[in-house]
C-alpha cells in the first residue's frame, strides 16, 4: 500500500512540475517581458542601425485597434518624401516596440516613402494584454491600415514591412483583403506553434509543444496554431518579398520557403532572398544598408512601384 501512495505522490509532483514548466514557457510568449523604448534606442544605436532617424520629422498619434484597444503610432518623413504619395507601415518583432522598426526607416525614406511605425499590442507604450505573435495583432493592423488611408489623403501606394512577429502580422492581415499594394516579410514564420516545436526539438523535447498549447487554450483561451500565416496566404494576390537569414536558428529558413510557395500559388509576384550568415532578425544588419535597400528597390521595380 505504501508504494502506491509513494507512486501517486511522485506522479502528482511531476505532473504539477510539468504543468508549471508549460505555463512558464508559454507565458514568455503570450505575456512577454518587453523592451523599453529607451533600451530599443540604445540597442539600435550600438549596432549602427539608428541611421538618420533623429533628422526626420516625426508625429506621434493614437490609433484605435481591435475592440477599441489603443495603439501608439508615429509617422516619420522628410521634405524629400512629402508629396510622393508613397507610404509603408513597418511592424516590429516580439518583445520590441516601434523603435525596433527604425532599422528599416532609412531604406524606405531613400525610396521615397513616409514610414508609419507603431507599438504592437502589449508592446511599447501600449497597455499589457495577451500577445498572439500575429493573429490578433493582424486584426489590429487592419485598423492601422484603415487609419492610414483616412489620415493621409495623398496615398498612392501603401505597403507593409514586417520583421518576425511583425512579418506574421503583415502576412496574416491578407485574410482581410486590406487596401495595400505590397508586403515585405523579413524572417516570417508559418505558425507560432511550429517555432515552439522546432525550438524544443533541438533539445529532443518536441513532445512538450502540444501540452504547452493545451495550457494556452485552458488558461488564456489562445491556440498557438491559430497564428497561421501560411493559411492566411491561401488566396493571396499581393506581391510579396520574402527575406530570411540563412543562419536563422529561431525561425528556420524553411518557414519563408513554405510561405513563398503558398503566396505565389494564385499568380501573385513573389521573391525569396536568403541573406548568407544572417541569424534571426539580423538580415538588415548583416546585408548592410545599401544591399538591403537594394533588395526592396529591385522588388518594387519588378512590381512597377
Task: Tell me the per-residue pLDDT of 269-281, one tens digit each, with 9 for 90 and over.
Answer: 999 999 999 999 9
Q: Supply the pLDDT for residue 109.
A: 98
* C-beta neighbour count of 302 within 10 angstroms: 12
Query: 76-108, pLDDT tens digit by residue?
Result: 999 999 999 999 999 999 999 999 999 999 999
Structural domains in the chain, sorted by start: 1-30+199-222 (no CATH), 35-191+227-302 (3.40.50.1820)
pLDDT single digits (tens) 122-170:
999 999 998 898 999 999 999 999 999 999 999 999 999 999 999 999 9
Region of poorest pLDDT, from 12-16, 111-115, 301-305: 12-16
Q: Which residue has the higher pLDDT, 209 or 256?
A: 256
| 114-118: strand order across its sheet | 57-64, 70-77, 114-118, 86-91, 157-163, 182-186, 240-245, 270-275
**Beta carbons within 10 angstroms of residue 18's beta carbon:** 14
pLDDT of 18 reads 52
Give mean pLDDT, residues 193-208. 70
Please name the residue ranges forming H helices in the chain: 2-30, 37-46, 102-110, 135-151, 165-172, 192-201, 209-220, 229-232, 254-263, 283-287, 289-302
Q: For residue 9, what pLDDT is reported?
A: 52
User: Residue 151 and residue 180: Cα distance in Å, rounded?
Assistant: 15
pLDDT beyond 60 at 178: yes
Dump pLDDT digits (tens) for 25-34. 666 677 888 9
* Residue 134 · residue 227 · CB < 8 Å: yes
**pLDDT at residue 10 greater than cutoff 60:** no
What is the average pLDDT across 107-126? 97
Q: Name the pLDDT band for 202 (thresholds 50, 70, 90).
A: low
Which residue, among 202, 168, 206, has the nearest Cα to 185 in the 3D structure?
Answer: 168
pLDDT of residue 13: 46
Amino acid at each position: 500500500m505504501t508504494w502506491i501512495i509513494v507512486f501517486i505522490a511522485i506522479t502528482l509532483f511531476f505532473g504539477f512540475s510539468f504543468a508549471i514548466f508549460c505555463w512558464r514557457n508559454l507565458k514568455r510568449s503570450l505575456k512577454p517581458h518587453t523592451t523599453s523604448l529607451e533600451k530599443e534606442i540604445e540597442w539600435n544605436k550600438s549596432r549602427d542601425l539608428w541611421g538618420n532617424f533623429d533628422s526626420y520629422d516625426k508625429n506621434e498619434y493614437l490609433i484605435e485597434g481591435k475592440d477599441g484597444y489603443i495603439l501608439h503610432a508615429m509617422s516619420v518623413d522628410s521634405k524629400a518624401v512629402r508629396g510622393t504619395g508613397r507610404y509603408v507601415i513597418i511592424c516590429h518583432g516580439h518583445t520590441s516596440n516601434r523603435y525596433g522598426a527604425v532599422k528599416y526607416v532609412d531604406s524606405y525614406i531613400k525610396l521615397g516613402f513616409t514610414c508609419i511605425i507603431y507599438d504592437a499590442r502589449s508592446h511599447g507604450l501600449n497597455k499589457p494584454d495577451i500577445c498572439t505573435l500575429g493573429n490578433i495583432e493582424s486584426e489590429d493592423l487592419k485598423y492601422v491600415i484603415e487609419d492610414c488611408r483616412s489620415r493621409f489623403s495623398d496615398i498612392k501606394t501603401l505597403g507593409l514591412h514586417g520583421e518576425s512577429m511583425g512579418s506574421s502580422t503583415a502576412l496574416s492581415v491578407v485574410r482581410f483583403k486590406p487596401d495595400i499594394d505590397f508586403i515585405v516579410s523579413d524572417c516570417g514564420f508559418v505558425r507560432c506553434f511550429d517555432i515552439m516545436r522546432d525550438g524544443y526539438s533541438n533539445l529532443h523535447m518536441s513532445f512538450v509543444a502540444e501540452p504547452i498549447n493545451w495550457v494556452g487554450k485552458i488558461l488564456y483561451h489562445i491556440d498557438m496554431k491559430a497564428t497561421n500565416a501560411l493559411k492566411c496566404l491561401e488566396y493571396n494576390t499581393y506581391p510579396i518579398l520574402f527575406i530570411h537569414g540563412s543562419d536563422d536558428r529561431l525561425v528556420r529558413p524553411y518557414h519563408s520557403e513554405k510561405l513563398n510557395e503558398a503566396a505565389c500559388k494564385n499568380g501573385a509576384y513573389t521573391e525569396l532572398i536568403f541573406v548568407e550568415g544572417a541569424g534571426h532578425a539580423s538580415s538588415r544588419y548583416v546585408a548592410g544598408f545599401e544591399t538591403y535597400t537594394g533588395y526592396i528597390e529591385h522588388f518594387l521595380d519588378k512590381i512597377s512601384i
